[in-house]
Structure 1
Amino acid sequence: MPATEFAVAPAPLWRLLWLWLPLLGVAVLLVTTHLQEQRTPMDMAITLPFLLVLGGVLSWAFLRRRITLEHGELRVTSTFYRRRTAVSSMLLEQARIVDLAEHSQFKPGMKINGFGMPGFQSGHYRMGKHKAFCLVTDPSRVLYLPLRDDRVLLLSPEHPRALLDALNAQAAR
Protein backbone atom coordinates (compact mmCIF):
# COMPACT_ATOMS: atom_id res chain seq x y z
CA MET A 1 0.00 0.00 0.00
CA PRO A 2 1.44 3.42 -0.92
CA ALA A 3 2.19 6.04 1.68
CA THR A 4 -0.72 8.28 2.59
CA GLU A 5 0.08 11.74 3.85
CA PHE A 6 -2.36 13.59 6.09
CA ALA A 7 -2.28 17.37 6.24
CA VAL A 8 -1.53 18.82 9.66
CA ALA A 9 -3.93 21.46 10.95
CA PRO A 10 -2.32 24.83 10.29
CA ALA A 11 -0.87 26.77 13.21
CA PRO A 12 -1.18 30.56 12.91
CA LEU A 13 2.11 32.19 11.98
CA TRP A 14 1.55 34.90 14.60
CA ARG A 15 2.56 32.25 17.17
CA LEU A 16 6.11 32.81 15.96
CA LEU A 17 5.94 36.11 17.86
CA TRP A 18 6.47 34.01 21.02
CA LEU A 19 9.84 33.17 19.53
CA TRP A 20 10.87 36.36 17.75
CA LEU A 21 9.87 38.95 20.39
CA PRO A 22 12.29 37.60 23.04
CA LEU A 23 15.05 37.37 20.42
CA LEU A 24 14.34 40.96 19.37
CA GLY A 25 14.47 42.01 23.04
CA VAL A 26 17.91 40.43 23.42
CA ALA A 27 19.10 42.17 20.23
CA VAL A 28 17.82 45.55 21.47
CA LEU A 29 19.52 44.99 24.83
CA LEU A 30 22.75 44.09 23.07
CA VAL A 31 22.67 47.20 20.85
CA THR A 32 21.76 49.43 23.82
CA THR A 33 24.66 48.14 25.93
CA HIS A 34 26.97 48.51 22.92
CA LEU A 35 25.95 52.15 22.55
CA GLN A 36 26.72 52.67 26.24
CA GLU A 37 30.19 51.23 25.52
CA GLN A 38 29.67 48.20 27.73
CA ARG A 39 30.08 45.82 24.78
CA THR A 40 32.77 45.50 22.14
CA PRO A 41 32.03 45.51 18.40
CA MET A 42 33.10 41.86 18.40
CA ASP A 43 30.24 41.03 20.80
CA MET A 44 27.77 42.44 18.28
CA ALA A 45 29.49 40.79 15.32
CA ILE A 46 29.07 37.39 16.96
CA THR A 47 25.79 37.70 18.87
CA LEU A 48 23.49 39.39 16.34
CA PRO A 49 24.12 36.85 13.54
CA PHE A 50 23.78 34.07 16.12
CA LEU A 51 20.35 35.42 17.14
CA LEU A 52 19.26 35.57 13.49
CA VAL A 53 20.42 32.01 12.81
CA LEU A 54 18.78 30.77 16.02
CA GLY A 55 15.49 32.48 15.10
CA GLY A 56 15.67 31.07 11.57
CA VAL A 57 16.32 27.50 12.76
CA LEU A 58 13.52 27.65 15.34
CA SER A 59 11.11 29.14 12.77
CA TRP A 60 12.01 26.36 10.31
CA ALA A 61 11.40 23.79 13.05
CA PHE A 62 8.01 25.34 13.86
CA LEU A 63 6.97 24.81 10.23
CA ARG A 64 8.31 21.22 10.00
CA ARG A 65 5.26 18.98 10.48
CA ARG A 66 4.15 15.81 8.74
CA ILE A 67 1.85 12.84 9.38
CA THR A 68 2.25 9.80 7.11
CA LEU A 69 0.70 6.34 7.17
CA GLU A 70 2.80 3.76 5.33
CA HIS A 71 3.17 -0.03 5.53
CA GLY A 72 1.23 -0.38 8.78
CA GLU A 73 3.20 2.38 10.48
CA LEU A 74 2.22 5.91 11.46
CA ARG A 75 5.13 8.33 11.02
CA VAL A 76 4.92 11.71 12.69
CA THR A 77 7.50 14.44 12.13
CA SER A 78 7.19 17.49 14.32
CA THR A 79 9.81 20.25 14.77
CA PHE A 80 12.99 18.44 15.92
CA TYR A 81 11.20 15.16 16.73
CA ARG A 82 10.07 12.03 14.91
CA ARG A 83 7.92 9.17 16.06
CA ARG A 84 7.20 5.88 14.27
CA THR A 85 4.37 3.80 15.67
CA ALA A 86 3.02 0.51 14.37
CA VAL A 87 -0.74 0.60 13.85
CA SER A 88 -0.91 -2.79 15.60
CA SER A 89 0.39 -1.15 18.81
CA MET A 90 -2.51 1.34 18.92
CA LEU A 91 -5.67 0.88 20.98
CA LEU A 92 -7.91 2.26 18.21
CA GLU A 93 -11.14 1.35 20.02
CA GLN A 94 -10.15 3.93 22.69
CA ALA A 95 -9.07 6.63 20.21
CA ARG A 96 -11.02 9.88 20.35
CA ILE A 97 -11.18 13.26 18.68
CA VAL A 98 -11.18 15.86 21.45
CA ASP A 99 -11.21 19.58 22.07
CA LEU A 100 -8.51 20.20 24.68
CA ALA A 101 -10.43 23.20 26.06
CA GLU A 102 -13.37 20.92 26.92
CA HIS A 103 -11.40 17.80 27.91
CA SER A 104 -8.53 19.03 30.05
CA GLN A 105 -7.57 15.47 31.05
CA PHE A 106 -6.11 15.07 27.54
CA LYS A 107 -3.98 18.24 27.65
CA PRO A 108 -0.23 17.78 27.49
CA GLY A 109 1.22 18.52 30.90
CA MET A 110 4.86 18.86 31.83
CA LYS A 111 7.26 19.11 28.91
CA ILE A 112 9.89 16.37 29.05
CA ASN A 113 11.69 17.13 25.79
CA GLY A 114 9.71 19.34 23.51
CA PHE A 115 9.13 22.58 21.67
CA GLY A 116 6.13 24.52 22.82
CA MET A 117 4.35 27.82 22.95
CA PRO A 118 0.71 28.69 23.68
CA GLY A 119 -1.49 26.60 21.39
CA PHE A 120 1.42 24.60 19.96
CA GLN A 121 3.09 21.55 21.48
CA SER A 122 5.62 19.34 19.79
CA GLY A 123 7.70 16.51 21.22
CA HIS A 124 7.56 14.53 24.44
CA TYR A 125 5.26 15.55 27.29
CA ARG A 126 3.73 14.06 30.42
CA MET A 127 -0.02 13.63 30.46
CA GLY A 128 -0.97 12.50 33.93
CA LYS A 129 0.60 9.07 34.40
CA HIS A 130 1.15 8.64 30.65
CA LYS A 131 3.97 9.79 28.40
CA ALA A 132 2.70 11.52 25.29
CA PHE A 133 4.21 12.36 21.94
CA CYS A 134 2.53 15.53 20.71
CA LEU A 135 1.99 17.38 17.48
CA VAL A 136 -0.71 19.80 18.58
CA THR A 137 -1.25 22.77 16.28
CA ASP A 138 -4.99 23.22 16.80
CA PRO A 139 -6.15 22.37 20.34
CA SER A 140 -9.80 22.37 19.22
CA ARG A 141 -9.41 19.15 17.20
CA VAL A 142 -6.89 16.69 18.53
CA LEU A 143 -6.73 12.98 17.79
CA TYR A 144 -6.02 11.08 21.01
CA LEU A 145 -4.39 7.72 20.24
CA PRO A 146 -3.55 5.50 23.24
CA LEU A 147 -0.87 2.84 22.71
CA ARG A 148 -0.47 -0.63 24.21
CA ASP A 149 2.72 0.41 26.06
CA ASP A 150 0.77 2.98 28.14
CA ARG A 151 1.94 5.90 25.99
CA VAL A 152 -0.23 8.29 24.01
CA LEU A 153 -0.07 10.12 20.68
CA LEU A 154 -1.78 13.53 20.52
CA LEU A 155 -2.01 14.72 16.93
CA SER A 156 -3.67 17.62 15.11
CA PRO A 157 -4.38 16.43 11.59
CA GLU A 158 -6.46 18.81 9.51
CA HIS A 159 -9.08 16.06 9.21
CA PRO A 160 -8.78 13.87 12.33
CA ARG A 161 -11.70 11.61 11.35
CA ALA A 162 -9.99 10.75 8.03
CA LEU A 163 -6.79 9.75 9.83
CA LEU A 164 -8.69 7.67 12.38
CA ASP A 165 -10.65 5.93 9.60
CA ALA A 166 -7.41 5.18 7.73
CA LEU A 167 -5.84 3.75 10.90
CA ASN A 168 -8.89 1.55 11.47
CA ALA A 169 -8.78 0.36 7.86
CA GLN A 170 -5.07 -0.41 8.19
CA ALA A 171 -5.68 -2.32 11.44
CA ALA A 172 -8.45 -4.37 9.80
CA ARG A 173 -5.97 -5.73 7.25
Structure 2
Amino acid sequence: MTTASTSKSYAVAPASPWLLLWIWLPLLLACGLTLASAWRNPPVPPGIWLVLAHLPVVGIVLQWAFNRRRINVQGRQLDVVSTFYRKRVDVSELRLEQARVVDLAEHHEYRPGFKTNGFGMPGFQSGHFRMRGGAKAFCLLTDRSRVVVLPLRGGAMLLLSPEQPRALLDDLKRLA
Protein backbone atom coordinates (compact mmCIF):
# COMPACT_ATOMS: atom_id res chain seq x y z
CA MET A 1 0.00 0.00 0.00
CA THR A 2 2.73 2.45 -0.85
CA THR A 3 1.72 3.77 -4.27
CA ALA A 4 -1.09 6.18 -5.02
CA SER A 5 -2.79 3.66 -7.31
CA THR A 6 -3.06 0.95 -4.64
CA SER A 7 -6.54 -0.11 -3.56
CA LYS A 8 -7.39 -2.36 -0.65
CA SER A 9 -10.76 -3.45 0.73
CA TYR A 10 -11.48 -4.28 4.35
CA ALA A 11 -14.33 -6.59 5.26
CA VAL A 12 -16.96 -5.01 7.48
CA ALA A 13 -17.83 -6.97 10.62
CA PRO A 14 -21.02 -8.88 9.85
CA ALA A 15 -24.32 -7.60 11.17
CA SER A 16 -26.86 -10.05 12.47
CA PRO A 17 -29.36 -11.09 9.80
CA TRP A 18 -32.02 -10.85 12.52
CA LEU A 19 -31.72 -7.08 12.23
CA LEU A 20 -33.71 -7.33 9.00
CA LEU A 21 -36.75 -7.98 11.19
CA TRP A 22 -36.55 -4.27 12.12
CA ILE A 23 -37.26 -3.55 8.45
CA TRP A 24 -39.76 -6.25 7.52
CA LEU A 25 -41.90 -6.57 10.67
CA PRO A 26 -43.10 -2.93 10.65
CA LEU A 27 -43.85 -3.21 6.93
CA LEU A 28 -45.80 -6.44 7.43
CA LEU A 29 -47.65 -4.86 10.36
CA ALA A 30 -48.52 -1.83 8.20
CA CYS A 31 -49.72 -4.17 5.45
CA GLY A 32 -51.87 -6.17 7.88
CA LEU A 33 -53.39 -3.08 9.50
CA THR A 34 -54.11 -1.55 6.09
CA LEU A 35 -55.85 -4.71 4.89
CA ALA A 36 -57.81 -5.08 8.14
CA SER A 37 -58.96 -1.48 7.97
CA ALA A 38 -59.95 -1.80 4.32
CA TRP A 39 -62.08 -4.91 4.92
CA ARG A 40 -63.76 -3.49 8.01
CA ASN A 41 -64.84 -0.34 6.20
CA PRO A 42 -66.08 -1.28 2.70
CA PRO A 43 -65.92 -0.18 -0.03
CA VAL A 44 -62.14 -0.60 -0.31
CA PRO A 45 -60.59 2.61 -1.66
CA PRO A 46 -58.55 1.93 -4.82
CA GLY A 47 -55.56 3.79 -3.36
CA ILE A 48 -55.14 1.03 -0.77
CA TRP A 49 -53.87 -1.36 -3.44
CA LEU A 50 -51.31 1.21 -4.56
CA VAL A 51 -50.04 1.57 -0.99
CA LEU A 52 -49.88 -2.21 -0.54
CA ALA A 53 -47.99 -2.62 -3.82
CA HIS A 54 -45.33 -0.15 -2.68
CA LEU A 55 -44.65 -1.66 0.76
CA PRO A 56 -42.56 -4.57 -0.61
CA VAL A 57 -40.61 -2.12 -2.78
CA VAL A 58 -39.80 -0.05 0.32
CA GLY A 59 -38.69 -3.22 2.13
CA ILE A 60 -36.46 -4.31 -0.74
CA VAL A 61 -34.81 -0.87 -0.98
CA LEU A 62 -34.19 -0.74 2.78
CA GLN A 63 -32.77 -4.27 2.79
CA TRP A 64 -30.48 -3.38 -0.15
CA ALA A 65 -29.29 -0.30 1.75
CA PHE A 66 -28.73 -2.34 4.92
CA ASN A 67 -26.48 -4.73 2.99
CA ARG A 68 -24.52 -1.93 1.27
CA ARG A 69 -21.39 -1.65 3.43
CA ARG A 70 -17.74 -1.42 2.51
CA ILE A 71 -14.46 0.10 3.63
CA ASN A 72 -11.75 0.76 1.04
CA VAL A 73 -8.44 2.55 0.95
CA GLN A 74 -7.79 3.85 -2.56
CA GLY A 75 -4.45 5.56 -2.95
CA ARG A 76 -4.39 7.95 0.00
CA GLN A 77 -8.16 8.09 0.48
CA LEU A 78 -10.27 6.18 2.94
CA ASP A 79 -13.64 5.48 1.31
CA VAL A 80 -16.49 4.28 3.54
CA VAL A 81 -19.84 3.31 2.02
CA SER A 82 -22.72 2.53 4.33
CA THR A 83 -26.42 2.25 3.44
CA PHE A 84 -27.38 5.50 1.68
CA TYR A 85 -24.19 7.31 2.79
CA ARG A 86 -20.58 7.66 1.69
CA LYS A 87 -17.63 9.36 3.34
CA ARG A 88 -14.29 9.93 1.60
CA VAL A 89 -11.40 11.20 3.66
CA ASP A 90 -7.80 11.81 2.68
CA VAL A 91 -5.40 10.04 5.03
CA SER A 92 -3.75 13.41 5.78
CA GLU A 93 -7.06 14.56 7.40
CA LEU A 94 -6.94 11.72 9.94
CA ARG A 95 -5.37 12.30 13.34
CA LEU A 96 -3.89 8.82 13.46
CA GLU A 97 -1.88 9.50 16.61
CA GLN A 98 -5.24 9.63 18.45
CA ALA A 99 -6.87 6.75 16.54
CA ARG A 100 -7.69 3.63 18.49
CA VAL A 101 -9.74 0.45 18.66
CA VAL A 102 -12.35 0.52 21.43
CA ASP A 103 -15.27 -1.40 22.86
CA LEU A 104 -18.23 1.01 23.03
CA ALA A 105 -19.55 -0.83 26.11
CA GLU A 106 -16.47 0.41 27.98
CA HIS A 107 -15.86 3.74 26.26
CA HIS A 108 -19.15 5.62 26.49
CA GLU A 109 -17.57 8.84 25.23
CA TYR A 110 -17.39 7.36 21.71
CA ARG A 111 -20.99 6.18 21.54
CA PRO A 112 -23.04 7.95 18.89
CA GLY A 113 -25.80 9.98 20.48
CA PHE A 114 -28.23 11.93 18.31
CA LYS A 115 -28.83 10.77 14.73
CA THR A 116 -28.68 13.80 12.41
CA ASN A 117 -28.93 11.99 9.07
CA GLY A 118 -28.60 8.27 9.37
CA PHE A 119 -29.99 4.77 9.27
CA GLY A 120 -30.13 2.99 12.56
CA MET A 121 -31.60 0.14 14.52
CA PRO A 122 -30.40 -1.72 17.60
CA GLY A 123 -27.02 -3.22 16.70
CA PHE A 124 -26.53 -1.20 13.51
CA GLN A 125 -25.80 2.47 12.91
CA SER A 126 -24.95 4.10 9.61
CA GLY A 127 -24.59 7.72 8.56
CA HIS A 128 -24.18 11.00 10.38
CA PHE A 129 -24.54 11.26 14.16
CA ARG A 130 -23.66 13.64 16.97
CA MET A 131 -21.50 12.29 19.76
CA ARG A 132 -22.49 12.76 23.37
CA GLY A 133 -20.05 15.68 23.62
CA GLY A 134 -21.52 17.35 20.52
CA ALA A 135 -18.82 16.34 18.00
CA LYS A 136 -19.93 15.08 14.59
CA ALA A 137 -19.33 11.46 13.61
CA PHE A 138 -19.79 9.37 10.50
CA CYS A 139 -20.64 5.82 11.57
CA LEU A 140 -20.60 2.34 10.11
CA LEU A 141 -21.22 0.26 13.22
CA THR A 142 -22.09 -3.42 13.04
CA ASP A 143 -20.00 -4.69 15.98
CA ARG A 144 -19.77 -2.32 18.93
CA SER A 145 -17.08 -4.41 20.65
CA ARG A 146 -14.35 -3.64 18.06
CA VAL A 147 -14.73 -0.10 16.77
CA VAL A 148 -12.00 1.88 15.04
CA VAL A 149 -12.21 5.50 16.20
CA LEU A 150 -10.60 7.83 13.66
CA PRO A 151 -10.56 11.49 14.73
CA LEU A 152 -10.44 14.03 11.89
CA ARG A 153 -8.52 17.31 11.86
CA GLY A 154 -11.76 19.33 11.84
CA GLY A 155 -12.96 17.79 15.11
CA ALA A 156 -15.31 15.17 13.63
CA MET A 157 -14.78 11.41 13.84
CA LEU A 158 -15.20 8.22 11.88
CA LEU A 159 -16.48 5.21 13.82
CA LEU A 160 -16.04 2.00 11.83
CA SER A 161 -16.55 -1.72 12.45
CA PRO A 162 -14.12 -3.55 10.20
CA GLU A 163 -13.76 -7.28 10.67
CA GLN A 164 -10.05 -6.75 11.41
CA PRO A 165 -9.82 -3.30 13.04
CA ARG A 166 -6.10 -3.50 13.84
CA ALA A 167 -5.22 -4.26 10.19
CA LEU A 168 -7.11 -1.18 8.97
CA LEU A 169 -5.51 1.04 11.59
CA ASP A 170 -2.00 -0.30 10.90
CA ASP A 171 -2.41 0.19 7.13
CA LEU A 172 -3.63 3.76 7.60
CA LYS A 173 -0.65 4.53 9.85
CA ARG A 174 1.72 3.09 7.23
CA LEU A 175 0.15 5.33 4.58
CA ALA A 176 0.55 8.42 6.73
> Which letter maps to 1:31?
L
Is 1:29 aligned to 2:19, yes or no? no
TM-score (norm 1): 0.96
Deviation string, structure 1 residues 66-106 (Cα, Å, up to 9, x no partner): 10001100000000000000100111010110111111110
In the aligned structure 1, how far is the partner of 2:107 from the partner of 2:82?
Answer: 23
Match of 2:24 among 16, 20, 23: 20
The equivalent residue for 2:160 is 155
Q: Percent identity?
A: 56
5+ residue gaps, structure 2, are none
The equivalent residue for 1:92 is 96
Partner SS for 1:75: strand
Instruction: Summarize the alignment of residues 52-67 of structure 1 with structure 2, pairs less than 5 Å apart.
Output: 52-67=56-71
Is 1:74 aligned to 2:71, yes or no? no
The equivalent residue for 1:135 is 140
The equivalent residue for 2:151 is 146
Kept in 2, the 8 Å contact 1:33–1:39? The answer is no
TM-score (norm 2): 0.94
Partner SS for 2:175: helix
CA RMSD of aligned residues (A): 1.1
Is 1:44 aligned to 2:64, yes or no? no
Partner SS for 1:112: strand
> Which letter maps to 1:57?
V
Once the two structures are overlaid, the 10-residue window that deviates more, 18-27 or 113-122, is: 18-27
Partner SS for 2:113: coil
Q: CA deviation at 1:38?
A: 4.8
The 3 A distance-change label for structure 1 pair 39 and 17 is farther
Partner SS for 1:105: helix
5+ residue gaps, structure 1, are none
